[in-house]
Amino acid sequence: MVRIGLVAANVFRGILSRRALYVWAAAIVLMLLRSGPAIFFSDQNPQFTAFIRANAISAALDAWALLALAAAIFLSAASVGNELTRKTISTVLARPIRRWEFMVGHWLGVTLFSLCSLGIGLVLASGLAWYLGIEIDRGRAAIAIAQTVAGAMLFAGLGVALGANTSVAFAAAVTVLMIFLPPVVSLLAKDPRPWQHYPGVALDYLLPPGYSSDYQGIAWADPPLPANPRANPRGRQRPVVDYPVARTRLYTNLGYASVYFLAGCLFFMRRDLRLG
């Protein structure tokens, strides 16, 4: 455990020393782009102002969650791969540390950074909500954050597993695909045509349910009634969170993360490390 912690701390520090400022600066810019106008917005209609501001809080949290996931994907893919290409791995693995411990350390280090990024976003968004007088639904926030944590663990696990056994570019590309493929796979699996259905079913087993954002509606104010009340009625209703479904998705993502990571560890433990 000590060695895993040491490697994780080393990975975390390495990210902080070089990339953290870029990730966090990007997140703050994105947050300001999505929520900035709302901070300064005021209207004669207080209901409309509250609606805009609540949307801004949800959007800001969503942006931070996406940045945290992007960090998990790209940093994890490069994590072990960079140790191999820069050969820093040789003096680490020449010590009494098992390869799986090294990989778990990398997984934890990247996930920790990703969650720290999310944490900063949460603090900033909570401060913004307090400043704007918008209340955050804690139940929704909890499940949304848990989904992000599971997503970060999934992508970091897959990225580290692939990055340790393939190239950094391939690992990043496949991990990014994991964001976009699950919805397509669901559609394929539901398609009755055999050429679509069976590959869809097969892929459905191979792929996790993927990340789903539950941040929309985390802060809510009813929108002002439009001139035509029948227009876009769904836009005026707070999104419903199906908690059991969300929990199942969360656990399934964590399960897939563990399986992918375990498979990556097994390959990494058996592979030759050709360090030139």
Partner 1 sequence: MSEAIIDIHGLTKIYRTGVRRTPVHAVKNLALTVPRGAVVAFVGPNGAGKTTTIHTILGFLTPDAGRVRLFGLPPGPAALRRVGYQPEIFHTYPFYKAREALRYYGRLSGMDRQAIDAAVPPLLARMGLESAANRTVSTFSKGMTQRLGLAQALLHDPELLILDEPTSGLDPEGRRLVLDIIGEERARGRTVFLSSHILSDVERTCDEVVMVNHGEVAFSRGMAAFQPEGDDWEIEVAGWTAAHREMLGDVAFTVASERHHSALLVCAAAQKQVLLRRLTSLPLDVGTVQRRRGASLEDLYLEHVGKA
Which residues form the interface with partner 1 (CB under 8 A)?
Answer: 2-3, 6-7, 10, 13-14, 17-18, 86-88, 90-98, 270, 272-276
191: left (phi over 0), alpha (psi -120 to 50) or beta: beta
Q: Are 260 and 207 in contact (CB under 8 A)?
A: no
CB 54 within 8 A of CB 134: yes
CB of 106 to partner 1, least distance (A): 13
What does the alpha-carbon distance between residue 256 and residue 157 come to, in Å, rounded to a whole number?
A: 9
**Rounded least distance, CB 157 to partner 1, Å:** 23
Q: Nearest approach, Cβ of 19 to partner 1 (angstroms)?
A: 11
Q: How far apart are CA 32 and CA 28, in angstroms?
A: 6
Q: Cα separation of 101 and 2, whole Å?
A: 10
CB nearer partner 1, residue 17 or residue 44:
17
| Shortest Å, Cβ 192 to partner 1 | 41
Tokens of 1: 């455990």
Q: How far is the CB of 17 from partner 1 (least distance, A)?
A: 4
Please, which residue, 234 or 274, has the CB nearer to partner 1? 274
CA atoms of 113 and 152, how far apart (whole Å): 10
Which residues is 219 bridged to in the sheet?
A: 136
Quick one: 167 or 212, whose CB is closer to partner 1? 167
Q: Minimum distance from CB of 76 to partner 1 (Å)?
A: 18
d(CA 272, CA 261): 18
Q: How far apart are CA 152 and CA 23, in angstroms?
A: 15
Nearer to partner 1, 235 or 276 (CB): 276
> Which CB sits closer to partner 1, 7 or 59?
7
Closer by beta carbon to partner 1, 86 or else 247: 86
